[in-house]
Amino acid sequence: MTSPNPSVFLLMISGQIEGAQFPEYDDLYCKYCFVYGHDWAPTSGLEEGISQITSKGRGSTQSLVWNFPLDITFKSTNPFGWPQIVVSVYGPDTFGNDVVRGYGAVHIPFTPGKHTRTIPMFVPESTSRLQKFTSWLMGRRPEYTDPKVVAQGEGREVTRVRSQGFVTLQFSIITKDMKKLGYDTTSGEQAPATRLAGTEQPYRS
C-alpha cells in the first residue's frame, strides 16, 4: 500500500474520552463529534458517538469515568482544517430534565504518539436573570444550535458562557505520509527516532 508519491496523508486517531471533572453534577453522558475542514474526509471509524451514563465513584475521587473509545481515521490533503473533536456533556438536572452540562473542543494532536488533553467545558449563559430562572424551572437551558459551533470562532462573540468542568481525553495518534507530503510534525530532536520507527524509508523505490 505504500506508494512512493502519496496524494493523501492519513491521521489515525484512537483513544478515549477518559472521564470528566464536574464537581457539581452526576450521572452524565457525553456526545462527541469531529469537525474538520473541506480537505478532510473520514475513511473509517465513527464520526459521532454518544457514551453511556456514568456516575461518580463512591470514593474520594469525584471524577466521572467514561472510558469511551474513539477510533477514527482521516485522510486529507491539507492540514488546513485539522480535525477537532467536540465533546458535549449532558446530564439530568434537579428535576430530571436532560440538560447540557458543557461543551468543549480540542484539536486532535498532530504529533504521533500518546497525548492526554484536558479540555475545559462551558455552557452558554441565559441572557437574563428571568430567563435563567425559567430555563432552570422548565429544564430547558440555553444550548448551542449546533455543538460544532464551539469548534469555530465565527459568531462566538455574541455568546456568553460559564465554565463548568473538565473532560479528559486521551489520544494515540498515528500519521502516515505526512512527511512525504512535506509536513513534518515531529520536532527536530525526535526526528531520528521517528525515522527509525517509520518503515517507509526502505521501501521507497
Partner 1 sequence: MSTPSDLRDKLRKKRRALQESLGKVKDDTQALVPSDSDVTKENERTAVEKLTGRGDDPGETLRRSLKAQRMKKKKKLLEEMSMEGPPEEEMVNEEITAVQELQHDQEEHSVETLAEEGRSVRLQRDLPPLPVARADSSLSESSMRQRMREKLRVARSKAASLLQQEASLEQPSHLRGPRDRETLTRFDRETDLDVHEEESSFAARVKFRDAARKATRDKRTETGLPTEEEAYKFFTFNFDPEPQESRRKDRAKKKTRSTDDEENEGEEDEEEEEEETGRARAREGEDESRERDEDAPLVRDEEEDLFIIDQSAKDFLELKKADYIGYNRRVLREREIFFTPSTRPVPASCKLPENVQPRYLEDEGLYVGERPPVALSNQNILENRILKEDGGKKWFGDDGRILALPDPIKESSSRPPLYHLEEELDPALQTVYRKPLKSKYVNRYIAGVGDTQGDYQLDVDVSGLIFSHHPLFSKEHVLGARLAQLYDQYLSRQHKNLTCLLTDKLNGLRNTIRNMLELHSGEGISHVTQQRIAEYKQEVRHTRQLRDTEQEKDRTLLKSIIKVWKELKSLREDKGCTNTPYKLYIRREEIQRALDEQEQEAEILAEVAELQAESEEDYERKLNEYKRKHEEWKSWKKKQKTLKKKQKQRRQQSQDVDEEEEEDEHSEEELGEEPVKPEAPEKPDIAGLEQQVREKAAKIRRKPGEPVLVPELTASNPITPNEACPRGEISRREDVSKRSLFVKVLYNDKEVSRTDSRSLNMDFRVHFGQIFNLKIVNWPESIKLQIYEGVSSSSSLIAEVCVPVPESSVLTGSTPSEELEFSSNQRVTFNHEGVGSDVPVSFTNDGSNIQTLLTSGKLSCCVSWAVGEDDIPLAPPSTQHGAGMHSGLRQMDAIACIGASGLNDMKRLGKWAAESRLDPNDPNNASIMQLLSVASGGEVVAPDYFRLEQLQEEFNFLSDEELERSRRFRLIRLRSQEEPEFRNFKTIPATEREISEKVFEEYDRRLKEGEVIDTKEHIDAHRALVAKYLQKVRESVINRFLISKHHYILSDLVVEEEVPSIGGPGQGVLGLNLFKLAEPKRPLKPRRKERKKVTAQNLSDGDIKLLVNIIRGYDIPIRKPHTSKPAAGSKGARSYTETFTAASTSQTALQASEWPLGQPVIRPFVEVSFQRTLLQTSTAEGPNPCWNEELVLPFSAPNGDYSTSSLQAVRDEVFISIFDEVLHDVVEDERERGSSVHTRIERHWLGSIKIPFSTIYMQSRIDGTFKLGTPSVLLGYSKERSLGSEGGYDAIRSLSEGTFLTLFITIEPQLVPGDSIREKMKDVKFDTQEVERLLLACEIFEKDAGQRYPDRPCVTTVVDINGKTVFITRFIRPLPPPQELLDAFPNNSQEATELVVRYVSLIPFLPDSVSFAGICDLWSTCDQFLTLLAGDEEEHAVLLCNYFLSMGKKAWLIIGTAIPEGPTAYVLTQEQNRYLIWNPSTGQYYGQHDTFCPLQTVGCLVNADNVWFNIQLYATPIRMSFDVTKPKFWKPFFSRSFPDPGLSSVQPEDLVYRRTDKAYAAELQDRIEKILREKIMEWRPRHPTRWNRYCTSTLRQFLPKLEMSGGREVAEEHRLELQSLLGDYRISGFPLHLPFSEIRPIIEAVYSTGVHNVEAPNVEFALAVYVHPYPSNVLSVWVYIASLVRTR
Q: Tell whether the torsion through CA atoms of 44, 47, 50 and 52 is positive or negative.
A: positive
Nearest to 98 by CA among 18, 30, 49: 30
Of the residues 134, 162, 191, 193, which one makes contact with partner 1 according to CB under 8 A:
134
Residue 76 CB, nearest approach to partner 1 (Å): 7
Residues 17-46 that bind partner 1 (CB under 8 A): 38-41
CA atoms within 13 A on the CB side of 20: 35
Q: Assess 157 for contact with partner 1 (CB under 8 A).
A: yes
Contact 147, 90 (CB under 8 A): no
In the block, cell 512512493 appears at 4
Quick one: 154 or 189, whose CB is closer to partner 1?
Answer: 154
**What track of x and - describes contact with partner 1 for positions 67 through 86 (by CB under 8 A)?**
---------xxx-x------
Instruction: Dig out the grid coordinates for 73 from the structure.
Output: 481515521
Q: Assess 93 for contact with partner 1 (CB under 8 A).
A: no
Radius of gyration of the chain (CA): 20
Q: Assess 97 for contact with partner 1 (CB under 8 A).
A: no
Quick one: 10 or 14, whose CB is closer to partner 1?
Answer: 10
Quick one: 117 or 161, whose CB is closer to partner 1?
Answer: 161
For 192, counting Cβ atoms within 10 Å of its Cβ (0-12 exposed, 13-18 middle, 19+ buried), the class is exposed
Q: Assess 144 for contact with partner 1 (CB under 8 A).
A: yes
The amino acid occupying position 63 is S
The amino acid occupying position 58 is R
Quick one: 1 or 158, whose CB is closer to partner 1?
Answer: 158
Q: Which residues bind partner 1 (CB under 8 A)?
A: 5-9, 38-41, 76-78, 80, 124, 126-128, 130-131, 134-135, 138, 140, 142-146, 148-149, 154-159, 181
